[in-house]
Structure 1
Amino acid sequence: MRNETRGTVELTLAMVLSGTLGVFVVESGASPFEVVFFRCLFGAVALGAYGLARGFFTGHGFTRGKLGLAALGGVFIVFNWVFLFEAYRAASISLATVVYHTQPFFLVLLGALFLRERISAGKLGWLVLAFAGLVLVSGVRPGDTATLAGLGCALAAAVLYALATFVTKRITGVRPHLVAFVQVLVGIPLLLPFVDFGAAAGLGGGWWWLVGLGFLHTGVMYVLMYAAYNKLPTAKIAVLAFVYPAVAMGVDWAVYGHHIGLVQALGVPLIVLAGLKVTRAARTPGAGPVPRTAGRAAEAASPAATRAG
């Protein structure tokens, strides 16, 4: 029980960090492409140093096929971040975060499309409920093109995250820290052509926010998450994952004064409840703590967009 308590604390801290991600993105003053590029750069340094210190690169378990899958997942993850960070700017951190939590449903649809997995009547009902919540949360008029574009970016980010999850779940026998290291490493050359280094040089204090994104939200947060996954049952991971959107909305209100309206607020519990039910339905009977090498799959199963964070 003491081990599970420690895991609960670790995952809660990781989700709280995830909830502050939007402020770091906005306060950096950099464009989404530049934010993601430097997050990948500093994140690779943090995860690489941790992996070296722990000896993870010895007997890493990568084969050419697994490395290719990790790299492909990295492409999806990197552009998922780009779209999500653009959604923060165009809509708000709160709205983008809630819409982003439709990820589990896209994962269900991908399974049905590519693996011929049957969608049960129960899951279909939760999908419909989540869609109703999404309609309520959007709460924008047709003429509000900026917010509509932001919500569209958040949906695109959710689809890309589901694709990354779908690909990465097929990697077994490799520590999740190393998979994440490869993914952020892929983002460096991938985004290099889109980075305006002249504009980045003039960020001033914005650099501290970018460093925080790399070392705190990519290094420390991932280490906390993966440590927690080894100690907690899947159902508890799914429940604790909702600390992330709660913190994100609270921080958005406290720092920027953004809050969702009454009608939009009605949609939030619909998406959260549906996501929780779909996630828990995927749990096998009697499942215990998540195995060490299953960290990525567990993270994918939880509706928290910890990759946003």
Structure 2
Amino acid sequence: MTSENKGTAQLTAAMVLSGTLGIFVVESGASPFNVVFFRCLFGALALGAYVIARGWLRDHGFSPRTLGLAVAGGAFIVFNWVFLFKAYEATSISLATVIYHTQPFFLVLLGAVVLRERLTGAQLGWLAAAFAGLVLVSGVRPGDLGSLSGIGLALLAALFYAISTLITKRITGVRPHLVALVQVLAGIPLLLPLADFAAAGSLGAGWAWLAGLGIIHTGLMYVLMYAAYQKLPTAKIAVLAFTYPAVAMVADWAVYGHHIGLVQALGVPLIVLASLKVNMAKSPRAVASSTPAPAPAASSRR
């Protein structure tokens, strides 16, 4: 198997795992704050074990500045998870996931506002196309407050993800696995006051789903993603990233019977195509930020 084929298999597997994340969240039966707290806890154990086994704690490359940036990025990434998981409750996994994939456009806009990067005519055009797709895929009327709140939460999650990406993009000389580890470790004290341990005590089988989120969706998934990024060209990374929302929509339909209506479905290709065009204009590291992950940047970003 060639290096690129191996990278394709690794990234496809990671994106398929990403697509099942919503199922684990819902089946755990825990509140979004509890889900994220225990995802951080179990994820830190999984990533920590991997990093120690590889001997990467020696010569880690962190300086006080880059460590502070990793912690700051972690704060935004963990609350991005909270908002996304709340969006699952208010709408559906399918709708929240599609809307969440407006992340690249927030990153472009933040780059223009914060970093004074110039917006090209093509970027503005794709932003307009994505907005049109968002209007279509929302499929709600102004009186449908539940769905509107879910859409707002998914957009807020995407914004927080983009901010985390922008922060972590400034970290250089540190392995992405180490940045991810610092970010989930930062989430533990941040969410500790917000976690409801009394409710967590009665989860029963929900603990297995929470452990899966940490070990599978935070440990294994990111190891696969970061290994794949080193082997693949930008265009292939951008294309394979959309395995995630596709699997999420199929899983939501298969398990919960949720599906996007005909009018909403018209908006999906607009968002996907526009996001793909924006992603392919970035470096492979920046493209990585369009996937769902805890460490937005070491490689660029997530």
Specify the TM-score bucket, using the shorter chain as the normaliser. over 0.9
Match of 2:170 in 1: 170
Match of 2:7 in 1: 7
Report if aligned partners of 1:14, 1:225 keep a CA contact under 8 Å in 2: yes
Once the two structures are superposed, the pairs formed by residues 132-151 of structure 1 within 5 Å of their partners are 132-151=132-151
Once the two structures are superposed, the pairs formed by residues 92-103 of structure 1 within 5 Å of their partners are 92-103=92-103
User: TM-score scaled by structure 1?
Assistant: 0.94
Once the two structures are superposed, the pairs formed by residues 97-136 of structure 1 within 5 Å of their partners are 97-136=97-136
Once the two structures are superposed, the pairs formed by residues 80-91 of structure 1 within 5 Å of their partners are 80-91=80-91
Match of 1:287 in 2: none
Structure 2 counterpart SS, 1:133:
helix
Report if aligned partners of 1:100, 1:305 keep a CA contact under 8 Å in 2: no
Using a 3 Å threshold, how does the CA distance of structure 1 residues 36 and 27 change in structure 2: closer, same or farther? same
Q: What does the per-residue CA deviation read over 1:101-133, in whole Å, with 9 as the maximum and x for residues that have no partner?
A: 000000000110111110000000000000000
Match of 2:58 in 1: 58
Structure 1 counterpart SS, 2:30:
coil
Q: What does the per-residue CA deviation read over 1:145-175, in whole Å, with 9 as the maximum and x for residues that have no partner?
A: 1111111000000000000000001100000
- Superposition deviation, residue 234 in structure 1: 1.4
Q: What does the per-residue CA deviation read over 1:198-239, in whole Å, with 9 as the maximum and x for residues that have no partner?
A: 100000000000000000000000000000011011111110
Match of 2:260 in 1: 260
* CA–CA separation in structure 2 for the residues paired with 1:53 and 1:304: 26
* CA–CA separation in structure 2 for the residues paired with 1:277 and 1:307: 24
Unaligned runs of 5+ in 2: 296-301
Structure 2 counterpart SS, 1:59:
coil
Match of 1:286 in 2: none
- Superposition deviation, residue 305 in structure 1: 2.7
* CA–CA separation in structure 2 for the residues paired with 1:54 and 1:211: 22
For 2:75, give the aligned amino acid. V
- Superposition deviation, residue 306 in structure 1: 4.0
For 2:279, give the aligned amino acid. T
Unaligned runs of 5+ in 1: 284-289
Report if aligned partners of 1:229, 1:298 keep a CA contact under 8 Å in 2: no
* CA–CA separation in structure 2 for the residues paired with 1:235 and 1:165: 19
- Superposition deviation, residue 91 in structure 1: 0.3
* CA–CA separation in structure 1 for the residues paired with 2:37 and 2:202: 16
Moved over 6 A (4+): none
Match of 2:299 in 1: none
Q: CA RMSD in A?
A: 1.3
Which of 288, 291, 294 lines up with 1:299 in the alignment?
288
> Is 1:281 matched with 2:281?
yes
**Across the two proteins, how many residue pairs are aligned to each other?**
296
Q: What does the per-residue CA deviation read over 1:237-291, in whole Å, with 9 as the maximum and x for residues that have no partner?
A: 11000000000000000000000100100000000000000111224xxxxxx5x
* CA–CA separation in structure 2 for the residues paired with 1:230 and 1:20: 24
